Chain A
Amino acid sequence: MVSYIIRRIFGALIVLLGVSIITFLLAYAVPADPARAIVGPHAPEYLVLQIRKQLGLDEPLPIQYIHYLGNILRGNLGTSYVLNQSVTSLIGQRIGATGLLAGLAFVFELIIGIPIGILTALRDRKLTDHVLSTGALIGISLPVFFVGLELMYWVGFRLGWLPIGGTGGILFAILPALTYAITGAAYYARLLKSSMIDVLNQDYIRTAKAKGASPLRVVMRHALRNALIPALTYAGTDVAALLGGVVVIEDIFGYSGVGQLAFQAIGNLDVPLIMGTVLFATVFVVIFNLIVDILYGIVDPRISYS
């Protein structure tokens, strides 16, 4: 187990290196000049050149990258061109808000998705199934910004139950989290439905019934744990999608988290900040995938880490 985790961390470092190279190249592939972006379109040429020299942008790309990498290894993610603060502290200020939003969104997804998955499996091809499955299909199809605006209007404005936008505390995170969860939960529901139907036809379910277990016990104890294994696999990839979704959702709700920071950084061509947020997201995804893989072994004893 320990050697497995060490191997995974080593693998994660290689992933981070790859991601940093690709992001670095993409940031520079854009036909725009960060130095010009900083000083504005009307600034004189000598100022642009001066800034370019100051930021080291006049050096060849590989050298720039090596400088950057060297700084990262010393724990320095650089300074935002536009906000003039260190990237580490910018991300650090917002990491809590984004963590809260992402965590809440994930919990909502499971709270909505798992019961619907179980229910539609048990009522397969009956009215309950048709109603909920259609609902799930609609959920998958709805764009995030639409759901977000509707929630803002109905729950935030008309009912006045929750703040429409802004940041601060868990109340402000509920609507953005729900926005993501409504579209995301449908995947868990559909995945769980099919794996549940499959599991309910297994021989060991017949054994459980033959033991005299009640239908509720058969489903919750004998079937659910087996049926959750494919959903767990999906959770690993879902977290990557979650971070992508958070970028858009934070912008919609004016929620100042890492996603909004990334959104602004891209608009400003603020290369250090783009790099910082992307690397942050990568670390997050890698860590979460590792957690999923470890959970895998706990849920399914047939998986070993040797």
Chain B
Amino acid sequence: MSEVLNITSLSVEFNINGEYYHAVNDVSFHINAGETLGLVGESGCGKSVTSLALVRLLAKSAKISGKALYNGRNLLDLSLEEMHQIRGKQIGMIFQEPMTSLNPVYKIGSQISETLRLHNKISNDEAKRQSLEMLRKVGIARPEEIMEEYPHQLSGGMRQRVMIAIAMINNPQLLIADEPTTALDVTIQAQILDLMRNLSRDFKTSLLLITHDLGVVAEMCDRVAVMYAGQIVEQGLVDDIFFNTNHPYTQGLLNAIPKIDVQNKDRLQPIVGNVPSLTRMPKGCRFATRCPHAMDRCKMESPPLMEIRENHQSRCWLNDAKVV
């Protein structure tokens, strides 16, 4: 299988009061053609920063290093002009905030056709016709009227459908969806996820799905990368992540999901403590202070990402102990 995206040792540093701190630290992953990779983690773990870094949408003050190969070309080395041609054409993006992601002063139709016209030499009428067709594909009822309406006249779910139409209309090879359903209510969430799954299958688009919701992951993803405090702590096939869970943080996330089928009247088990702040990262394993299995070694040395079975890696000293 060919790789659409290959991220190697991506690091992002932000300047806080004159000093640089890592928000993303040595992150590597790849996405194959037609595959869906879930990037999972709690708020502030660096998953959004990772996605914005690879399309170069972070503020100029952010220091980015590493490689982000898109079809063999390093996105981090491209000129701004080349980047404009890739964004919106080859890489589409959907964001978390459907309520504010559309420009309030332009009609829906013109906002969709803009993406087309920025990248293709086509007539006004043709752009309009294709936009209308795309609105139909994302399941908008009465698309002719919606074309002439403004964002504030649409509900959150409809706006997210419009965002999907904007992101998908140029038939991109890669779609980056950053928490696309977080701001929507549950029934709409399911519809939007269905839509994204069907579209990415029909268009043969690879999907980088950023989420904190393991339910979404289970439903959508082929492979999963779990991030904690700027690092990937566990990566593998979706089944391995759910059924052969290795890293204590992933286990913690799974324990924190409410289950309705188990006759268990116990309380949910939260992960105790908080994510360490950027400016005060522990020297050893970053999860050690919250980990129920933490050993002395964890507080001293940072564990590397270890291969524990084929296509399954975990950043935990417990695996090393088993080997020894």
Interface residues of A (CB under 8 A from B): 202-204, 206-215, 222, 225-226, 299-302
A202 to chain B, nearest CB (A): 7
20 examples of A-B residue contacts, CB within 8 angstroms: A204-B100, A204-B103, A207-B93, A207-B163, A207-B166, A210-B57, A210-B87, A210-B92, A211-B87, A211-B115, A211-B118, A212-B86, A212-B87, A212-B119, A214-B84, A215-B80, A226-B105, A299-B105, A300-B105, A301-B152
B95 on the interface (CB 8 Å rule)?
A: yes
In the complex, the chain A residue whose C-beta lies closest to that of B83 is A212
A192 to chain B, nearest CB (A): 16
Other-chain residue from A203, A212, A225, A299 in contact with B95 (beta carbon distance below 8 A): A203
Query: Is A212 a contact of B88 with CB atoms below 8 Å?
Result: yes
Other-chain residue from A202, A211, A302 in contact with B152 (beta carbon distance below 8 A): A302
Chain A residues contacting B97 (CB-CB under 8 Å) are 203
Other-chain residue from B87, B89, B101 in contact with A203 (beta carbon distance below 8 A): B101
In the complex, the chain B residue whose C-beta lies closest to that of A300 is B105
B26 on the interface (CB 8 Å rule)?
A: no
Other-chain residue from A208, A212, A301 in contact with B105 (beta carbon distance below 8 A): A301
Give the B interface residue count (CB, 8 A).
28
B55 on the interface (CB 8 Å rule)?
A: yes
In the complex, the chain B residue whose C-beta lies closest to that of A217 is B118
B149 to chain A, nearest CB (A): 9
A233 to chain B, nearest CB (A): 15
B96 to chain A, nearest CB (A): 9
Query: Is A207 a contact of B87 with CB atoms below 8 Å?
Result: no
Chain B residues contacting A202 (CB-CB under 8 Å) are 100
A207 and B101 in contact, given A212-B88, A301-B150, A302-B150 (Cβ under 8 angstroms): yes
A209 and B87 in contact, given A203-B95, A301-B152, A302-B150 (Cβ under 8 angstroms): yes
Chain B residues contacting A206 (CB-CB under 8 Å) are 57, 95, 101
Q: In the complex, A283→B119 CA distance in Å? A: 50
Which of B95, B97, B103 has the most chain A CB atoms closer than 10 A to its own CB? B103
Q: In the complex, A211→B91 CA distance in Å? A: 9
Chain B residues contacting A226 (CB-CB under 8 Å) are 103-105
Beta-carbon contacts under 8 Å, B88-147 to A: 88-89, 92-93, 95, 97, 100-105, 114-115, 118-119
Query: Is B84 a contact of A212 with CB atoms below 8 Å?
Result: yes
In the complex, the chain B residue whose C-beta lies closest to that of A229 is B105
Query: Is B118 a contact of A213 with CB atoms below 8 Å?
Result: yes
Query: Is B57 a contact of A204 with CB atoms below 8 Å?
Result: no
Query: Is A212 a contact of B89 with CB atoms below 8 Å?
Result: yes
Chain B residues contacting A225 (CB-CB under 8 Å) are 105
B102 to chain A, nearest CB (A): 6
B85 on the interface (CB 8 Å rule)?
A: yes
In the complex, the chain B residue whose C-beta lies closest to that of A215 is B80
Query: Is A211 a contact of B88 with CB atoms below 8 Å?
Result: yes
Q: In the complex, A209→B166 CA distance in Å? A: 12
In the complex, besides A212-B86, A212-B118, A226-B103, 19 extra interface pairs with C-beta distance below 8 angstroms are A202-B100, A203-B97, A204-B104, A207-B93, A207-B103, A207-B163, A209-B87, A210-B92, A210-B93, A211-B118, A212-B84, A212-B87, A212-B115, A213-B84, A214-B84, A299-B105, A300-B105, A301-B105, A302-B104
Q: In the complex, A284→B148 CA distance in Å? A: 36
In the complex, the chain A residue whose C-beta lies closest to that of B55 is A210
In the complex, the chain A residue whose C-beta lies closest to that of B105 is A225
Chain B residues contacting A203 (CB-CB under 8 Å) are 95, 97, 100-101
Q: In the complex, A203→B103 CA distance in Å? A: 9
B12 to chain A, nearest CB (A): 17
Q: In the complex, A214→B118 CA distance in Å? A: 9
Q: In the complex, A207→B119 CA distance in Å? A: 15
Chain A residues contacting B100 (CB-CB under 8 Å) are 202-204
Which of A204, A208, A299 has the most chain B CB atoms closer than 10 A to its own CB? A204
In the complex, the chain A residue whose C-beta lies closest to that of B91 is A210
Query: Is B86 a contact of A207 with CB atoms below 8 Å?
Result: no
Beta-carbon contacts under 8 Å, B174-222 to A: none
In the complex, the chain A residue whose C-beta lies closest to that of B86 is A212
B81 to chain A, nearest CB (A): 8
Query: Is A300 a contact of B101 with CB atoms below 8 Å?
Result: no
Chain B residues contacting A222 (CB-CB under 8 Å) are 103
A122 to chain B, nearest CB (A): 12
Chain A residues contacting B80 (CB-CB under 8 Å) are 215
Query: Is B166 a contact of A211 with CB atoms below 8 Å?
Result: yes
Q: In the complex, A213→B114 CA distance in Å? A: 9
In the complex, the chain A residue whose C-beta lies closest to that of B163 is A207
Q: In the complex, A204→B159 CA distance in Å? A: 12
Query: Is B84 a contact of A301 with CB atoms below 8 Å?
Result: no
Chain A residues contacting B101 (CB-CB under 8 Å) are 203-204, 206-207
Q: In the complex, A211→B93 CA distance in Å? A: 8
Q: In the complex, A260→B105 CA distance in Å? A: 42
A44 to chain B, nearest CB (A): 70
Nearest 10 interchain pairs by C-beta: A212-B88, A211-B88, A210-B93, A212-B87, A203-B100, A204-B103, A301-B150, A203-B101, A211-B115, A212-B84
In the complex, the chain B residue whose C-beta lies closest to that of A228 is B105
